[in-house]
Structure 1
Amino acid sequence: MPDERPERLPPQQQDHQPGSEDEMFPAPLYQPRFPGSGRLRDKVAIISGGDSGIGRACSVLFAREGARVAIIYLEEDSDAEATAERVEAEGSEAVLLRGDIGSKSFCEDAVTETLARFGRIDVLVNNAAEQHPQEDLTGISPEQLEQTFRTNVFGYFYLTQAVLPHLEAGASIVNTTSVTAYRGSPELIDYSSTRGAIVAFTRSLSQALAERQIRVNAVAPGPIWTPLIPASFDAGKVGEFGTSQPLGRPGQPNEVAPCHLFLASDDSSYMTGQVLHPNGGEIVGG
């Protein structure tokens, strides 16, 4: 696959979330750019939203580094199957877990199935999210507010609660948050609020688990070319997506996944409660 990073994206739009990677053009770049070095050898990772976007890039990169991967996804079967094939092409194993992380019982079942398949869990990547732009705060319905928090916050809590009893010293939790947690977004007030909650969740949980030697960190991407973008914005905004960043273009999933890998591996053994910022050069506090 050519490793080209376009400065502008063709205008396009999808009519439902979480969106399909198969329908995007150009396709997001997810393939790892460098050979693996065994940084996750013999590990097992659960990745929510692992079928596409940043989650797909993490799934394939983790597999290249030796991990077996449990891929949680909502409903995009073709994306999930394609990701599993790419994990297996790296010489690893994948299990697909279809369901809504906003359901506590599903999260518990997903962990049970992962343990039945792989026998252990070493890394949790909380990554699945949704967003619904609104021009005014009053346009955010109670249903939208609850659904956004259920996926973006409750889902992280439920999945972490289900995984936690099975993690041992040296395990790692990596949460995907967003640049909007730090600088806000006038059209994504509810989404930005959930991403801010995940920063606080990361910092608080890292302190709670430090005694157990379980590290908790986060990644706060800027504008990244994932299915969530054409599924959230109109075609005109997609065409301008990411161009206002200092680097002048949107980022690609395989420019973000290495941050998750670093935090999941022993390379970051003296880091917990921290956030990495692959955002194209935007300076944010914290």
Structure 2
Amino acid sequence: MSFEIDTRGQTQSAQPGIEEVMDPAPVVIRENYRGSGKLKGKTALITGGDSGIGRSVAVHFAREGADIAIVYFDENQDAADTRAMVEAEGRSCLLIQGDIRSEAFCREAVSRTVNEFGKLNILVNNAAEQHPQESVDQISPDQLSDTFATNIFSFFYFTQAALPHLQQGDTVINTTSVTAYHGSPSLLDYSSTKGAIVAYTRSLAGNLAEKGIRVNAVAPGPIWTPLIPSTFDSERVKKFGKDTPFKRPGQPCEVATCYVFLASEDASYMSGQVLHPNGGQVVNG
């Protein structure tokens, strides 16, 4: 199956972006992907699960037997579409709308998940925002606060709320980024949060090891998601991903399988690690 695409320089006017209007649409799951019950009987909560990588993770998890709770901001149609995809896999999907910058909302989302499904086994901290600026002095205090609140504070909030429900063998998976390793001159605050996520993952893994709860991360490279046309101008979208060794952006389905692996018993001896689906970029991390 070929994943070559022409992004056509398309843009959207507001973040986090809408997958429904993307053309070409991101590839959510390969037609030949066969589930094998790796996550049968599990419940997963995924932030930013309405579209992009989060949607693909939700559908892959469902095909592997998990029920899904999706946290999203305001993309109601995308969220409904994702729920339909999960239900088409024969699993249940709970939609939870709200602002993950609020600690109270994060606690409520975990509570609703446990009330709906009776348990929580897999927490995927995935939601993020990014706002390019050409100079560090152009990053306003409000932008800095919002980026950190969404991209790293929420990871603490969700983990704190989830921990009383997680048991031995359960997992936390955090989405970091290739920018945590090679930086990004125009995404200074975003890259900083992604670096923080790497340190958070490694530290939390050590903290929870005795409880048998594994903590790992995925560091995607340039992946074709709604965040891209809603972040960058037309010229940058046209070139998106072409500077990788693969000379193209990746698709969400090329990333989601990393989450399946880390959530399953296949990764039972892994914690504090980061997987790198990034089109061949060597980051030595």
User: TM-score if structure 2 supplies the norm length?
Assistant: 0.98
Conserved 8 A contact 1:8-1:241: no
Which secondary structure state, in structure 1, belongs to the residue aligned with residue 186 of structure 2?
Answer: coil
Could you tell me how far 1:6 is from its partner in structure 2?
2.1
Q: Deviations over 1:128-183 (max 9, x none)?
A: 00000001111100000000000001111101111011100000100000000000
Could you tell me how far 1:63 is from its partner in structure 2?
0.2
Corresponding position of 1:204: 203
Corresponding position of 2:41: 42
Corresponding position of 2:3: 5
Which secondary structure state, in structure 2, belongs to the residue aligned with residue 271 of structure 1?
Answer: coil
5+ residue gaps, structure 1, are none
Amino acid of the residue matched to residue 140 of structure 1? Answer: I
Corresponding position of 2:214: 215
Conserved 8 A contact 2:6-2:24: no
Corresponding position of 1:24: 22
Could you tell me how far 1:7 is from its partner in structure 2?
4.6
Which secondary structure state, in structure 2, belongs to the residue aligned with residue 201 of structure 1?
Answer: helix
Corresponding position of 1:143: 142
Amino acid of the residue matched to residue 151 of structure 2? Answer: N
Which secondary structure state, in structure 1, belongs to the residue aligned with residue 95 of structure 2?
Answer: strand
Residues of 2 paired with 1:139 and 1:7: CA distance? 33
Q: Deviations over 1:245-274 (max 9, x none)?
A: 001100000000000110011100000000
Q: Which ranges of 4 or more aligned residues in structure 1 deviate by more than 3 Å?
A: none
5+ residue gaps, structure 2, are none
Q: Deviations over 1:173-196 (max 9, x none)?
A: 000000000000000000000000
Whether 2:70 is the aligned partner of 1:78: answer: no
Aligned length: 284
Corresponding position of 1:242: 241
Could you tell me how far 1:34 is from its partner in structure 2?
1.1
Which secondary structure state, in structure 1, belongs to the residue aligned with residue 260 of structure 2?
Answer: helix
Which secondary structure state, in structure 2, belongs to the residue aligned with residue 173 of structure 1?
Answer: strand
Could you tell me how far 1:100 is from its partner in structure 2?
1.0
Q: Deviations over 1:96-115 (max 9, x none)?
A: 00011111100111111111
Amino acid of the residue matched to residue 262 of structure 1? Answer: F
Corresponding position of 2:54: 55
Residues of 2 paired with 1:7 and 1:161: CA distance? 40
User: TM-score if structure 1 supplies the norm length?
Assistant: 0.98
